[in-house]
Amino acid sequence: MNSIENHNSDVIIVGAGNAAFSAAVSAAEHGSKVLMLEKTEEKYMGGNSALTIHMRFAYNSFDDLLPLIKFPEKPNDLSSFEKKISLLKDIVTSYSELDYLNDINKVTENKSDKNLSKELVSNSLSTINWMNKLGHFWTPTFENPTSANVVSFDGKGYGLINRWKKIAIQKGVKIIYECPVIDLIEQNNQISGVVVNYKNQNIKLFAKSIILACGSFESNSEMRAKYLGENWRNIKLRGVPHNTGEGLEMAINRGAVPYDDWSTCHASPQDYNRPNFDLPGENKSGDYWSRYAYPFSILVNQEGSRFVDEGETWRGLTYAKTGKAILEQKNQVAYQLFDSKHRRAGVLDNYKNPTVIISNNLNDLANKIKIENINKFLFNIDNFNKNISSNFYNPNILDGKSISNITPSKSNWALELNEPPFEAFPVIAGMTFCYGGLKTSKDGEVLDKNGDIINGLYAVGEMLGGLWYKNYPSGGGMMAGAVFGKKAGEKASIK
């Protein structure tokens, strides 16, 4: 088709990530002609969704998970797999809706929008089952099956996005790539279309409903500095470079209201030498450069001091705030310290090609990583070692092995640093997305300053505000993208 103006659409969706595809497929299932507009090349579609691993959802027992799992086809592989599944079934506990809500309230300091969080949690399992019936599958997280991450996407996020694409096309959804949306069209008090820049031409496209699912502003240095602070201007991204905030600005220019905390974001510990951003691709994951063994470490700054409770709780409930804590340290760097006991326990097994400094004595290690006050550093390590409780060490549970009489405390996994070789992993913060977004209804309808619906306009994914504040439970954003994307697609079609 030579001219995209010939597309006749009921629903236009801006973006091509998990939330966008959830909305597109839902709208198509409810009878709408759907057009998706993606600013990047086809090979980079999917945004941050293509770099993820899992969704956090509530379930009652392992029986809820079993239908989601893709089993091997080869008999030899199947036998071994089934044995692992049997062992997993014995140790997996439920993750109830109440557990999920409690985790959200805890990490957000009870500031998550109660209506949105309840909607997310209560619809999480049914949305997962909807995705499963469409053709999505999961694989067991055999290595460390915590209650909220027992299964991960088959093929990781890249596999998820490519399945979404196949499903959407089968349902008649049209996708146009390298077609950034630059403005919204408003007619008769309704958003009725978009302006795109396609092949260097500005073109107007019209539809009954527009669903924005084109990410936050994490890739825009000016917006980061404006809303998060100057020290965020040059931060590296644990994510794609394409989410530059135009969708948010377009909506606000048409009366949308910024909602919740635009001054905090998802930022996690990353390898010191990670690239400036990630791009989607087969076998690529946003976690390749992530350094998520910090709960088991002694984490120190350039001055040789600890500054967080590394083992406060499960990593999935602390990682997204730990990056900010690192950014606030001198030189915006910190060091995860381990010894041979940690290595034997397997907590470093996921560190692939990391930046690491190794030494057989702590004084030499401190010199190598340029600790400014080595005496203070050595005192802090010695003091840490002397104040550890005698609880049994187990990195697979909240073991309660803690330190006392030291600030900050360490609530779990406190292991002496006294058995060489010693390893220091320098880490920095990597930003994934901003927690602030737009105010919407529970169906993704964008609201104005009076709380009224802006007819024809929806926002989902990273653009939906209200769920997260200061911190975030791993996999929560992907689940919210699917839940509210599905709801927005249905609502836009009914209208």
CA gap 36, 288 in Å, rounded: 29
The pLDDT profile of the chain, 495 residues, written as one tens digit per residue, is 347 877 789 999 999 999 999 999 999 999 999 999 999 999 999 999 999 999 999 999 999 999 999 998 888 889 889 988 988 888 888 999 999 999 999 999 999 999 999 999 999 999 999 999 999 999 998 777 665 789 999 999 999 999 999 999 999 999 999 999 999 999 999 999 999 999 999 999 999 999 999 999 999 999 999 999 999 999 999 999 999 999 999 999 999 999 989 999 999 999 999 999 999 988 777 789 999 999 999 999 999 999 999 999 999 999 999 999 999 999 999 999 999 999 999 999 999 999 999 999 999 999 999 999 999 999 999 999 999 987 789 998 999 999 988 999 999 999 999 999 999 999 999 999 999 999 999 999 999 999 999 999 999 999 999 999 999 999 999 999 999 999 999 999 987
Taking the C-alpha atoms of residue 20 and residue 104, their distance in angstroms, rounded to an integer, is: 23
C-alpha to C-alpha distance for 174 and 110, rounded to whole angstroms: 41
Helical residues (DSSP H) of 54-206, grouped into ranges: 62-65, 75-91, 97-107, 114-122, 124-134, 156-170
Q: Residue 75 has which token pair?
A: 């008999």
Q: What is the pLDDT of residue 90?
A: 85
Residue 49: the pLDDT is: 97
Residue-wise burial string across 222-258, b where 16 or more C-beta atoms lie within 10 A, e elsewhere: ebbebbbeeebeebbbbbbebbbbbbbebbeebbbbe
Residue 28 tokens read as 């198509």
- Residue 52 neighbours by CB distance under 10 Å: 28
Q: What is the pTM of this model?
A: 0.95
Distance CA 294, CA 301 (A): 13
Nearest-10 Cα torsion for 337, 340, 345, 350: 60
C-alpha angle with apex 359: 353 to 361, nearest 5 degrees?
150
Closest alpha carbon to 144 in 334, 349, 285: 349
CA neighbor of 205 nearest in space, from 185, 177, 180, 190: 185
Coil vs helix vs strand at 34: strand
CB 8 within 8 A of CB 33: yes
Residue 66 backbone phi and psi in degrees, to 5? -55, -45
**What whole-number distance in Å separates Cα of residue 247 and Cα of residue 220?**
12
Produce one character per residue of 421-445: b if its CB has 16 or more CB atoms within 10 Å, e if not: ebbbbbbbbbbbbbbbbbbbbbbbb
336 touches 425 (CB < 8 A): yes
> Which amino acid does the sequence have at 20?
A
